[in-house]
Amino acid sequence: MRKLAELNLNKKRCLVRVDFNVPLIDGDVQNDFRIRAALPTIRHCLQRGASVVLMSHLGRPKGKVVPELSLEPVASVLERLLGQVVQFSTDCISEEALAVSNNLGPGQVHLLENLRFHPGETDNDSSFSERLAKHGNIYINDAFGTAHRPHASNVGVLDFFRLSASGFLLEKERKYLSRAIQSPKHPFVVILGGAKVTGKIELIHNLLKQADKIIIGGAMAFTFLKVSGKKVGNSKVEEEKLSIAKKILSEADKNDVEIILPVDVVAAPELDEDSPWRVAKLDELEEDESGFDIGPETSMIFESHLDQAGTILWNGPLGVFEIPAFSTGTHSIAHAIINETEEGAVSIVGGGDTASAIESLELGMDGFTHISTGGGASLELLSGLELPAFKALDDHE
């Protein structure tokens, strides 16, 4: 795919697909991480004499206008971050919106309303794509979070442009996530957490080709622990995935990849802030207790395996970080990764819940080499799957 720096943008209108799918509460943006991630591309276009038309989705309105999912609050945040006026249109393909785009001068910014208010976006409808394309004469995709979806704004729209390019964020995501699975600096240590093995099977199989060690925490660890003959109490186990977990452990052994599992947990009878909890070794777990975080001994073991790592890939929190009593493991491992990054390791953090954990625990986003903006997209890319948006850009003449 073409790179943005290769294009002459002077007096051009850049239609930029961004990912402004941010959390809103009562009409206020709660986290501007994804908005800030798009700023380098937006500023580059403006500084090179272009006008910029931005398009994004927000939430899942399913082809209907849902006022609570309007991008208008994002326009206000973007104005503050850019330090300039951002024009906003209440429909992404209306005649009024097209008129605003066509009358933009160099250095001006126009944000379109939620793409998914139209069913044509997720249906990758050609007429909807053609209508969107009228907003610009150069297409730029900088929305990694939707790169795994074949939608109108990141696939179909390319049929109506002569010039296209990837934005700086898309380039960065591809660089770090592709390198992690193709040519990592060794020792390559992978940390996997989260709730389920489901959705990460292809990822694990792909990582077994390159990783030296795979550390498994979070609720998904209990499926591996049970198949290994360990006590798990009442902890969440995916019974239907036990055979797959057994196969993964066997493949890891054949590939000489070390799998590291928890030895103790923070246990409680139920997942509740007020529930009494205790640290317990696995063989001490009561039948009515569940593990909701890795224990202190496990944290120390995990940290020791991160020592001297060349590349660290982290996907999934190690416990239920939203509840303070069960956030310590995620907090400790995050700090260990930050320390290793300072020592020269390349640290790559998957998007979604992992990025949310880092922000909610106020660990700072600058301590890692790269934090992905895409949850599902990063999982699919790391699993070795082809992303539709990448293919569309690669194939575009």
Domains, the chain, ordered by start:
4-166 (3.40.50.1260), 173-382 (3.40.50.1260)
> From the candidates 34, 116, 200, 226, which is the catalytic residue?
34
Cβ partners under 8 Å of residue 264, min gap 6: 279, 280, 281, 282, 294, 295, 296, 297, 298
**Is residue 241 annotated as part of the catalytic site, yes or no?**
no
Does the structure show a pLDDT above 90 at 212?
Answer: yes
Cβ partners under 8 Å of residue 74, min gap 6: 20, 22, 29, 35, 56, 58, 111
> From the candidates 36, 134, 179, 196, which is the catalytic residue?
196
Calculate mean pLDDT across residues 166-195: 92
Does the structure show a pLDDT above 90 at 140?
Answer: yes
**Is residue 194 annotated as part of the catalytic site, yes or no?**
no
Quick one: which H or E segment has residue 378?
helix 376-382
Q: Taking the CA atoms of the chain, what radius of gyration do you get in angstroms? A: 23
Does the structure show a pLDDT above 70 at 195?
Answer: yes
SS3 77: helix
Quick one: which H or E segment has residue 109?
strand 109-112
Calculate mean pLDDT across residues 39-53: 98
Residue 42 pLDDT: 98
Calculate mean pLDDT across residues 294-301: 98
Question: What sign does the dihedral 344-345-350-353 (CA atoms) show?
Answer: negative
Calculate mean pLDDT across residues 261-289: 96
Residue 357 banded pLDDT, cuts 50, 70, 90: confident
Does the structure show a pLDDT above 70 at 397?
Answer: no
In whole angstroms, what is the distance from residue 82 CA to residue 319 CA? 36
φ, ψ for residue 34 (rounded to 5)? -70, -30
Residue 355 pLDDT: 85
Q: How far is residue 36 from each of residues 80, 238, 248, measured CA to CA in Å? A: 11, 37, 38
Which span out of 23-27, 139-143, 201-205 was modeled with the highest average pLDDT? 139-143
Calculate mean pLDDT across residues 96-119: 98
Contact 247, 291 (CB under 8 A): no
Does the structure show a pLDDT above 80 at 361?
Answer: no
> From the candidates 156, 352, 374, 375, which is the catalytic residue?
352
Does the structure show a pLDDT above 80 at 227?
Answer: yes
Residue 8 banded pLDDT, cuts 50, 70, 90: very high
Calculate mean pLDDT across residues 201-223: 94
Residue 342 banded pLDDT, cuts 50, 70, 90: very high
Does the structure show a pLDDT above 70 at 396?
Answer: yes
Calculate mean pLDDT across residues 84-105: 98
Q: What is the DSSP string of 14-36?
A: EEEE------EETTEES--HHHH
Does the structure show a pLDDT above 90 at 351?
Answer: no
Give percent above pLDDT 90 in the chain: 86
Does the structure show a pLDDT above 70 at 233?
Answer: yes
Residue 199 pLDDT: 83
**Is residue 107 annotated as part of the catalytic site, yes or no?**
no
**Is residue 236 annotated as part of the catalytic site, yes or no?**
no
